[in-house]
């Protein structure tokens, strides 16, 4: 016999007696193990979902290339509920999840990581040392360090930057002299200008022509989607990481653009830190932007949650690219909705004018404009920049549900067991149109829902207004507050100075 002296989880525990020879599993143990292994495998297969029109593409063309985003996805949610199965390329089972409890669990759990396509894209474009590329303790440390640039006081300091970018946008709109104008490139440029000033203390002119040209190349690549790309991503997801790292050196236009982006981001980050270091040595204040704050902390106290200069530089690509078109797209869709609703335009303008008059040329209290904030929340709810987030289970795990799920076999379950390697789609656009969460009018653009009392049912999932535009859990976007105040400033200034979006 072998006896344990101490707790089983105590590393100092000792054993005494004769060693035990492990006996082979009994027939009961074998059947028990087989039952649960089989259950995990069959559970996903028995989850209801739409039929697949193609073995090659599965439901992917319907999901990603529908005439209007959500044509199929929102119908699937209505038919099958917030947790259902679809087919990926080559017959792969994927889970579509908009269930609030499931989303909250996945976003806060260590049992999931970015899906292979997303993980490869992060490593190729942003680098393995970026905040999205690192995991666990390194991620916590970098996130804690970056928070110095997104405190309430820091965000208030950025307001003049937002106002300057909004004023430039207004001047560009006024130059159109009433002609039709594609506002999306202007919004994207305005957003890049804001990010550059807030993060680096640079104007877009300081970034240089090569950086600007490459930046818009990368945004075009990132936002493009085709049937060929869908299949290529599915194949790439099955390849080991070293293949992707080698593929970046291929002589294609896309690979060249990505290589250039990484080089320019590295050069830019090093240049900014060199200039700020020299300015600090001359006694100048460098605490005016994110990189200045990070470098100042690193110089003054290396024992706190500070980043090395190399780690600061490693954040350049993601800070300059990730938030650019996401914010610009929210602005664009918001303006489209304003154009559809003259009454909303008039009411919003009246609130803005009243608030500006009350400020009497002083600082504007954006929190005291309920309709403006409701309008921004509704724009974010209806038009999230990232409609789907890909995740993969890193071990066998059981996902909880808000209610119960009826399988194709008729069985009802309240938890879904999934196996290691299972691919999941966090259906964030679907979640933000979930009727059980937002009401029967969840498909309507209705800012007043945020003014009429409780907006949603259940516990909060996202960090801002219970929305998932900024994700949730440990990987919540650290710039959430600065983005929302930037949206407030841009809408306020543009609506105040420009007489109406085209009706």
Q: 104-134: per-residue pLDDT in tens?
A: 999 999 999 999 989 988 988 899 999 999 9
Looking at residues 326-337, what average pLDDT do you find? 88
H/E run at residue 424: strand 423-427
Topology of domain 136-383+478-497, CATH: Cytochrome p450 (1.10.630)
pLDDT at site 453: 73
Check whether 375 has a pLDDT greater than 60: yes
Contact 190, 165 (CB under 8 A): yes
Annotation-wise, does 477 bind a ligand? yes
Instruction: Please indicate whether residue 51 or residue 494 has the higher confidence score (pLDDT).
Output: 51
- What pLDDT score does 39 carry? 52
DSSP string of 303-335?
TSS---HHHHHTTHHHHHHTTHHHHHHHHHHHH
Q: Where are the domains of the chain?
A: 2-125+385-431, 136-383+478-497
Q: Mean pLDDT throughout 376-399?
A: 95
* List of residues 6+ apart from 440 with CB closer than 8 A: none
pLDDT, residue 460, reads 78
Per-residue model confidence (pLDDT) at position 499? 52
CA atoms of 156 and 393, how far apart (whole Å): 39
Question: Six-digit token pair at 448?
Answer: 């007043």
338 pLDDT above the threshold of 70: yes
The larger pLDDT score, comparing residue 232 to residue 303, is at 232
Round the average pLDDT of the chain to a whole number and report it: 86
Kindly provide the b/e burial profile for residues 273-295, where b requires at least 16 CB atoms within 10 angstroms of the residue's own CB.
Answer: bebbeeebeeeeebbbbbbbbbb
Q: Kind of pairing, strands 93-97 and 423-427? A: parallel
Q: What is the pLDDT of residues 433-455, one digit of tens each?
A: 999 999 999 999 999 999 987 66
What's the pTM value of the predicted model, to 2 decimals? 0.87
The per-residue pLDDT for range 205-215, each reduced to its tens digit, is: 999 999 999 99
State pLDDT tens for residues 147-205.
999 998 999 999 999 999 999 998 888 887 667 888 888 999 999 999 999 999 999 99
For a pLDDT cut of 70, what percent of the chain falls above it?
Answer: 87
């Amino acid at each position: 016999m072998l006896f344990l002296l101490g707790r089983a989880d105590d590393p100092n525990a000792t054993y005494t007696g004769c060693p035990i020879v492990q006996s082979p599993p009994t027939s009961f143990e074998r059947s028990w193990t087989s039952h649960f292994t089989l259950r995990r495998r069959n559970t996903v297969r028995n989850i209801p979902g739409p039929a697949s029109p193609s073995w090659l593409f599965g439901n992917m063309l319907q999901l990603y290339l529908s005439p209007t985003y959500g044509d199929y996805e929102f119908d699937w949610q209505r038919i099958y509920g917030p947790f259902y199965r679809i087919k990926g390329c080559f017959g792969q089972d994927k889970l579509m999840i908009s269930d609030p409890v499931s989303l909250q669990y996945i976003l806060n759990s260590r049992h999931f990581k970015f899906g292979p396509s997303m993980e490869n894209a992060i490593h190729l474009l942003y680098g393995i040392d970026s905040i999205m590329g690192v995991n666990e303790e390194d991620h916590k440390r970098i996130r804690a360090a970056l928070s110095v640039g997104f405190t309430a006081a820091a965000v208030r300091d950025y307001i003049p930057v937002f106002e300057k970018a909004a004023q430039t946008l207004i001047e560009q709109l006024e130059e159109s002299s009433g002609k039709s104008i594609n506002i999306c490139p202007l919004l994207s440029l305005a957003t890049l200008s804001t990010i550059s000033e807030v993060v680096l203390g640079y104007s877009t002119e300081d970034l240089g022509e090569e950086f600007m040209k490459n930046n818009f190349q990368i945004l075009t690549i990132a936002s493009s989607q085709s049937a060929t790309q869908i299949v290529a991503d599915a194949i790439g997801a099955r390849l080991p990481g070293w293949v992707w790292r080698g593929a970046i050196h291929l002589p294609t236009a896309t690979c060249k653009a990505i290589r250039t982006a990484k080089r320019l981001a590295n050069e830019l980050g090093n240049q900014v830190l060199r200039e700020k270091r020299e300015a600090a040595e001359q006694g100048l204040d460098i605490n005016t932007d994110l990189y200045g704050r990070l470098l100042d902390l690193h110089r003054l106290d290396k024992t706190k949650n500070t980043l090395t200069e190399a780690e600061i530089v490693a954040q350049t690509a993601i800070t300059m690219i990730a938030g650019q078109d996401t914010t610009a797209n929210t602005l664009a869709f918001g303006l489209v909705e304003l154009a559809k609703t003259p009454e909303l335009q008039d009411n919003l303008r009246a609130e803005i004018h009243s608030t500006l008059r009350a400020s009497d040329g002083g600082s504007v209290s954006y929190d005291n404009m309920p309709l403006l904030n409701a309008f921004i929340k509704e724009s974010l709810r209806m038009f999230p920049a990232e409609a789907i987030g890909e995740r993969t289970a890193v071990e066998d795990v059981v996902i909880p549900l808000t209610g119960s799920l009826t399988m194709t076999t008729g069985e009802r379950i309240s938890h879904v067991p999934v196996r290691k390697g299972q691919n999941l789609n966090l259906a964030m656009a679907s979640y933000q149109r979930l009727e059980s969460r937002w009401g029967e009018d969840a498909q309507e653009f209705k800012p007043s829902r945020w003014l009429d009392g409780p907006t949603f049912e259940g516990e909060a999932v996202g960090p801002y207004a219970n929305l998932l535009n900024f994700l949730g859990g440990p990987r919540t976007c650290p710039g959430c507050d600065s983005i929302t105040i930037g949206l407030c400033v841009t809408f306020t200034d543009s609506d105040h100075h420009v007489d109406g979006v085209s009706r």
